[in-house]
Amino acid sequence: MKISRVLSGAFALALCASQSALATTIGFSQVGSESGWRTSFSESVKAEAEKRGIELKFSDAQQKQENQIKAVRSFIAQGVDAIMIAPVVETGWKPVLREAKRARIPVVILDRNVDVKNQSLFLTRIASDFVEEGRRAAQWLMDETEGNCKILELQGTVGATAAIDRMKGFNEVIAKYPNSEIVRSQTGEFTRTKGKEVMEAMLKAENSGKGICALWSHNDEMALGAIQAIKEAGLKPGEDMLVVSVDGVPDYFKAMADGDANATVELNPHLGAPAFDVIEAYLKGDRKVEKLITTTGDLFTQETAAEEYAKRAGN
Ligand code: GYE
């Protein structure tokens, strides 16, 4: 083969590769910015897209599913190469996922799940095992209190996989301890403000928290709000009332280092890279992908909180 033809072939391949990398446009429908973890997740996805030369169309739904569905329809109308959805709740997704499928646009679900029987409506889901997070939080608390603990629970957003599954895992473990129970449980919608407000009401209803051994919060943001409420009720969070949570955001590591909180199960916010890996492979023709790609996180306690905070504070 003439050298010029080889070169032109190689050039065409290189051009195609560079164009496909530059031309990849992905629509991302994000829940909102209700927590420090969610913000880290969004920032991580945007940084990864920048690094890969992917054009990211980002939509913040302010925790409203109708805004997410509108955004996905807009991505379909714009003819993006792929769509990523971090669903606020599990139900209500079938119609718009069918529209994406009809438009032959692959969809990747990030973090919380969608409740659809037809698993061909999305390429894969990338998420942590929320049930296991609940189990680990509960087991730490049972070990810490020798299985003898009356617990207040701050639930996440009603209908969100993280709330449903963390509750499931936590309850599965404490069911084994007859001297432990959740005496009051209410949603704080994963936010700091609502977490404080709901904790104030629960403390009032529970004799200002006297006799309560621990707060179990489905995320650090609500726990941080609740810590303020515990202090205003005249109790020492982390001592009079233990605090166990999930996410592992920097502010919570600070609270543990200050003695105001006791433990958290870290939730990995870096979901962009695995999502883009799957999408880029799919766009190149790879059709082999697991339906669930699981991320993992460790449980952290006061013992290492100061050094862990130092590592995270700048990020
Ligand atoms: O724990 C919380 C955010 O869906 C697992 O959503 C996620 C949760 C996370 O609001 O901080």
pLDDT in tens, 163-186: 999 999 999 999 999 999 999 999
Confidence of residue 28 (pLDDT cuts 50, 70, 90): very high
Instruction: Kindly report the protein residue whose alpha carbon is nearest to atom 8 of ligand 1.
Output: 162
Higher pLDDT, 19 or 179: 179
State how far the Cα of 278 lies from the Cα of 298, in Å rounded to an integer.
25
Could you state, in order of their start, the residue ranges of all structural domains in the chain?
Answer: 2-128+269-295, 130-268+300-312
State how far the Cα of 16 lies from the Cα of 25, in Å rounded to an integer.
15
User: Would you say the CATH fold of 130-268+300-312 matches that of 2-128+269-295?
Assistant: yes
Buried b (16+ CB within 10 A) or exposed e, 77-96: eeebbbbbbbbbbeebbeeb
What integer pLDDT is reported at residue 10 of this predicted model? 57
For residue 250, report the distance from its CA to the centre of ligand 1, in Å. 15
What integer pLDDT is reported at residue 239 of this predicted model? 98
What's the DSSP call for residue 241? B
What integer pLDDT is reported at residue 183 of this predicted model? 98
- Pocket-testing residue among 219, 221, 222, ligand 1, by greatest number of atoms within 8 A of Cβ: 219
Given the candidates 3.40.50.2300, 2.40.70.10, 2.40.170.20, 3.40.50.620, the CATH classification of the domain at 130-268+300-312 is: 3.40.50.2300
Given the candidates 1.10.3720.10, 1.20.1050.10, 3.40.50.150, 3.40.50.2300, the CATH classification of the domain at 2-128+269-295 is: 3.40.50.2300
For residue 167, report the distance from its CA to the centre of ligand 1, in Å. 13
What's the DSSP call for residue 55? E
CB–CB of 220/248 below 8 Å? Answer: yes
Mean pLDDT calculated for residue range 211-230: 98
Q: What is the model's pTM? A: 0.92
241 φ/ψ angles, rounded to the nearest 5 degrees? -135, 120
Confidence of residue 313 (pLDDT cuts 50, 70, 90): confident
- Pocket-testing residue among 30, 38, 192, ligand 1, by greatest number of atoms within 8 A of Cβ: 38
Report the percent of the chain where pLDDT is more than 90. Answer: 90
Mean pLDDT calculated for residue range 249-253: 97
As for ligand 1, residues whose beta carbon falls within 6 Å of it are: 34-35, 37-38, 111-112, 160, 162, 190, 219, 221, 246-247, 267
